[in-house]
Amino acid sequence: MFCQGEIEKKVEKKTVDHSQKESKTRRKPQQARSQERVRQILQVAERLFLELGYEGTTTRAIATQAQIPVGSLYQFFPDKIAILQALGTQYLEQEYQVFAELHGEEALTWPLSVYVERVIDAFDQFYTAHPAYRVVFEQLRRSMPEDSDAIDEEISQGIAQDLAAFLTRKNPTLAADQSKIIGRIVVEVVGTLQWLSLGGDRGFQGAIVEETKKLMSSYLNLYFDPS
């Protein structure tokens, strides 16, 4: 994963502790509070990053709106950037989960139109839940000029790789390079159109989602002729 930063430890520690069976029940409330705070911070940060951008968002603003003192924020995240990273990993994890079922064995048998329908809906669901997705990863890439190899792969391809693998399985005559490009394009295009839809009202959003389905269907038909 791209995020072996310090928060990883912190955040994971919390998570791990939590699943540690609460040996000391007295501990529970504190952990619950911590988890709640981390969630609060990430939620507020997500909104502010979206509204004001990463640099435009101050740690104090995040803390204030999350209703905790700044010091507490730094108890969970060593850095401002760690918050960004935490959002990044969170997104990646959730993205993976959302798409997991769409790439199972049974999905291979779905008609293309059904597959497209479900993929777009999954994206819709995901990006609607995480509108800051794009801002976060754009800033994340900017914030890491060094060793951008592994990171970049991880970040920017994410599910694109899974998608590519799935496409190759679905149509084995497809070259690996071809699949990768297609996967990447699907991800970028759908992501962008979701982003676009977020700026409009509900009617606009629905229209965009419909168009996205048409767009993707007609495109994928080129490679997966349903005949």
Partner DNA sequence: TATGAATGAGACTTCATTCAT
Partner DNA sequence: GATGAATGAAGTCTCATTCAT
Residues binding a copy of itself (CB under 8 A) = 51-56, 139, 142, 145, 152, 156, 177, 181-182, 184-185, 188-189, 191-193, 196, 199, 207-208, 211-212, 214-215, 218-219, 221-222
Tokens 């799935």 — which residue? 166
3-state secondary structure 21-89: CCCCHHHHHHHHHHHHHHHHHHHHHHHHHHHHCCCCCCHHHHHHHCCCCHHHHHHHCCCHHHHHHHHHH
Chain-centroid distance, C-alpha 184: 15
Pseudo-torsion of CA 58, 59, 64, 65, nearest 10°? 70
> CB under 7 A: which stretch of 78-86, 106-114, 126-134, 166-174 binds DNA?
78-86
Identify which of residues 40 and 209 has a Cβ nearer to a copy of itself in the complex.
Answer: 209
Under rule CB under 7 A, residue 131 binds DNA: no
Burial class from Cβ neighbours inside 10 Å (0-12, 13-18, 19+) for residue 77 reads: buried
* Cα angle value 160/56/201 (rounded, 5°): 60
> CB under 7 A: which stretch of 77-85, 107-115, 191-199, 211-219 binds DNA?
77-85
Identify which of residues 77 and 224 has a Cβ nearer to DNA in the complex.
Answer: 77
* CB of 16 vs a copy of itself, minimal distance in Å: 21
Identify which of residues 6 and 121 has a Cβ nearer to DNA in the complex.
Answer: 6
Identify which of residues 106 and 149 has a Cβ nearer to a copy of itself in the complex.
Answer: 149
* CB of 96 vs DNA, minimal distance in Å: 28
Tokens 């990171």 — which residue? 151
Identify which of residues 55 and 101 has a Cβ nearer to DNA in the complex.
Answer: 55
* CB of 179 vs DNA, minimal distance in Å: 40
Question: What is the distance between the alpha carbons of residues 155 and 150, in angstroms, rounded to a whole number?
Answer: 9
Under rule CB under 7 A, residue 21 binds DNA: no
Considering only CA atoms, which of 187, 102, 137 is closest in space to residue 179?
A: 187
Under rule CB under 7 A, residue 75 binds DNA: yes
208 binds, among a copy of itself, DNA, none (CB under 5 to 8 A by kind): a copy of itself
Binding site for DNA (CB under 7 A): 26, 29-30, 33-34, 37, 55, 57-60, 68-72, 74-75, 78-81
